Amino acid sequence: MAELLLELFGEEIPARMQGRAGDDLKRLVCAGLKAAELPFETAAAYVTPRRLVLHITGLPLAQPDVREERRGPSVEAPDKAIEGFLRGCGLTRAQCEEREMPKGTFLFAIIERQGRPTREVLAEILPAALADLPWPKSMRWGTGTTRWVRPLHSILALFDGAVVPLTFAGIDSGDQTRGHRFHAPAPFTVSDFAGYRDGLLAAKVLIDPAERRQRIMDGAAQLAQDAGLTLVADAGLVAEIAGLVEWPVPMLGVFDRRFLDVPAEVLVTTMKVNQKYLSLRDGSGNLAPNFIAVANLEARDGGGQIIAGNQYVLTARLADAEFFWTQDLKKTLESRLTRLDDMVFHAKLGTEGTMGEKVRRLEKLATALAEYVPGANVELARRAAHLCKADLVSDMVYEFPEVQGVMGRYYALNDGLAPEVAEAIQQHYSPAGPSDDCPTAPTAVCVALADKLDTLVGFWAIDEKPTGSRDPFALRRAALGVIRMVLENGLRLPLEEIFSTALKGYAFEEEEEEETGRDSDLLVFFADRLKVYLREQGVRHDLVQAIFALGGEDDLVRLKARVDALASFVRDEDGANLLVAYRRAANILRIEEKKDGMVHDGDVIYSLLQQDEEVALAEALSKLNLDALLVKEDFNFAMASLADLRQPVDDFFAAVTVNADDAAQRGNRLRLLSWIRATMHTVADFSEIEG
Q: Which letter, b or e, does each residue of 337-352 get, where b requires 16 or more Cβ atoms within 10 Å of its Cβ?
A: beebeeeebbeebeeb
Chain centroid to CA 320: 37
Question: Which of 519, 390, 502 has its CA nearest to residue 450?
Answer: 502
Phi, psi of 115 (to 5 degrees): -65, 140
DSSP, collapsed to helix, strand or coil, labels residue 180 as: coil
The pLDDT assigned to 470 comes to: 85
What is the rounded distance in angstroms from the CA atom of residue 460 to the CA atom of residue 6?
A: 48
CATH architecture under which domain 335-565 falls? Orthogonal Bundle (1.10)
CATH 1.10.730 given to domain 572-688: yes
Q: What is the identity of the amino acid at 182?
A: F
Beta strand spans in 127-285 (E): 152-159, 162-163, 167-168, 171-174, 176-178, 187-189, 230-231, 249-254, 278-281
The pLDDT assigned to 113 comes to: 80
Q: What is the mean pLDDT of each successive set of 10 residues along the chain, which is 691 residues long?
A: 96 96 97 95 97 97 87 90 90 90 89 89 97 95 93 97 96 97 95 97 97 97 97 95 97 97 95 96 96 95 94 96 96 96 88 93 97 97 98 95 96 97 97 90 98 96 87 93 96 94 82 59 90 88 88 89 92 89 92 91 91 94 91 92 90 92 93 93 91 68
The pLDDT assigned to 135 comes to: 95
What is the rounded distance in angstroms from the CA atom of residue 672 to the CA atom of residue 677?
A: 9
Chain centroid to CA 613: 52
Q: What is the identity of the amino acid at 404?
A: Q
The pLDDT assigned to 601 comes to: 87
Q: pTM to 2 decimals?
A: 0.80
DSSP symbols for 30-55: HHHHHHTT---SEEEEEEETTEEEEE
The pLDDT assigned to 519 comes to: 65
Q: What is the identity of the amino acid at 293?
A: A
Count of alpha carbons within 13 angstroms of residue 115, beta-carbon side: 13
